[in-house]
Amino acid sequence: MVNKIKGQLFSGRFDELIARQKSNCDFEIGEILIAEDSDKKFFLQVYDLQYGSQISQQNLELISGMILEENSSTEFIDSNIRNYKIALLKPLITISKESNSSLSKSLPSPFTYLREITADDMTFISKPENSLFIGNLRSGSKELDVPIYLDAKNVLTHHVLITGTTGKGKSVLMKNILWELTGRIGLLVLDPHDEYYGRNNIGLKDSSSGKVVYYTSKNVPVGARSLKINITILRPSHFDCLGFSDAQEQAMNAYYREYGNKWIESIIIDKPLNYVKFNDATVNVLKRRLMYLLDLEFYDSRLFCNGIFDMSAGESTIEHICNDLENSKTVIIDTSNFSGQIELLIGSLIATEIFNKYKNYKMKGINDKPIVNIVLEEAPRVLGKDVLDKGGNVFSSIAREGRKFNVGLIAITQLPSLIPREILANINTKIILGTEMLLERQAIIESASQDISSDSRTIAALDKGECIISSNFSKFAIPIKVPFFDERVSKSLKKDDFKINFPGLN
């Protein structure tokens, strides 16, 4: 097969190569082109397009006006020679004749031809031992049959940020990632839209791993678990991300020191503190907030529990969840029926327990525990500047030091600008979907692992299911086409059925 020539380099500098497009071809934003020169392959990517002409701007305007206003059909120029399109390109990597890849540090010769990339050009990419499949390589809007894998252990322990505007495919991408990882690592998924398990459609319930655990508080399906948590398990530190005032936090700690695991009950039934006094207004507000948050009622000298937090049931729920995570299970918690604060409280409770367990394992020299990752939807709720200005929480602690203990975050947001630069710097893999808002594009560009400063237009132009991966564990920012989850899993399930029905055929 003859590779298609699409253009020719003729000018520019290292970070802004300029190429003329061949008249019967089209360049696209984000397209990868190959320049072969001196036994090297230069991978170049289009980041901007413009018109070029040998005719002055004034004459171009005159010609345009005559055609537009006078409906003139006179051909003034040879359009293929004098008018053309120009692409601005940046270097990605260089492949030597020995098929060694490295970051580009030189330029191809002037007037080098540019051809479209093919699957044969990507043979230098190897599949890591602990691979995480994200999607196929994309060049502009064209998908190549080149699967892209990342090193799962490094990527997941060093945290992942998924960012993009609503409707650009964050949920589909996340479903694919969860499908890939289920049964291989521990995954805690706080699901505010009840979309990952797949009650009534394809979802993680269809995984053949047998390692999906689903908790819900409503219409519990067969094989799932009812979510109940005993309030005696709760500690004041679990409320760190919920915006309690300093005085309220001090009151909670004082009650916990005096009454132990019955501190919440003691606040609600107005037990006194013997060693420290707080303003009555502070205690009363704290009491009302806890009763509302935990869905508790107190009358006739009795405490009643109406929601998932209970006085008698749910003592072992958190322990079971942590054990499941340690056994490489995917634990999905349906939080669609809860307020945002209850969701965060549940997440904080589980994250604290598993993080403390893994810290203890590290201190004891136990290093064979599987990776645990926590999936956070709307991450700025716990990692945002406004939240962290009031004090840290378990999620910010994991972001800063979780990699040392094999605990990672997969943070999802459409507003990365709300997350402090320090936290973004600690998230070493960014998966960037289409983002039209300039402020958000700028935030993600400034914190990316590679220099993608020229990719602002490219990010804005990403269609649904198209993304760019910028990671410390890839040599360049990789454009990806994410597979459609339902189709992918449907095909996988049909293959499994075929193998079951016809075991003699491979």
| pLDDT score for 75 | 57
| pLDDT score for 72 | 66
* pLDDT at 445 > cutoff 80: yes
Q: In Å, what is the CA distance from 87 to each residue of 32, 52, 462, 478?
A: 12, 10, 18, 19
Does the pTM of the predicted model rise above 0.95? no
| pLDDT score for 79 | 66
145/4: higher pLDDT: 145
**3-class secondary-structure state, position 321:** helix
Q: Tell me the pLDDT band of 495, cut-offs 50, 70 and 90.
A: low
pLDDT tens string 91-132: 999 998 777 888 888 899 999 999 999 999 998 888 888 899
d(CA 225, CA 215): 5
| pLDDT score for 9 | 96
| pLDDT score for 77 | 55
* pLDDT at 390 > cutoff 70: yes
Strands in 186-191's sheet, in edge-to-edge order, are 142-151, 131-139, 478-481, 466-471, 429-433, 160-163, 407-413, 372-376, 186-191, 330-334, 212-216, 225-226
* Secondary structure string (H, E, C) spanning 430-444: EEEECCCCHHHHHHH
The residue ranges of every structural domain in the chain are 5-122, 148-224+324-500, 231-310
Q: Tell me the pLDDT band of 506, cut-offs 50, 70 and 90.
A: very low
pLDDT tens string 59-88: 878 878 877 887 765 555 566 778 889 999
pLDDT tens string 165-214: 999 999 999 999 999 999 999 999 999 999 999 988 899 999 988 999 99
* pLDDT at 163 > cutoff 60: yes
DSSP state of 220: P
Q: CB under 8 Å to 66, separation ≥6 — which residues?
A: 72, 74
* pLDDT at 427 > cutoff 90: yes
Q: Tell me the pLDDT band of 499, cut-offs 50, 70 and 90.
A: very low
Lookup result for tokens 């969840």: 321
pLDDT tens string 300-333: 778 888 889 998 898 999 999 999 999 999 999 9
CATH 3.40.50.300 fits domain 148-224+324-500:
yes
Q: What are 187's two structure tokens? A: 């995954």
The closest alpha carbon to 332, from 374, 283, 380, belongs to 374
Q: What are 287's two structure tokens? A: 């009491």
d(CA 134, CA 467): 10
| pLDDT score for 169 | 93
Mean pLDDT computed over every residue of the chain: 90
Q: Tell me the pLDDT band of 4, cut-offs 50, 70 and 90.
A: confident
pLDDT tens string 338-389: 888 999 999 999 999 999 999 999 999 998 899 999 999 999 999 999 989 8
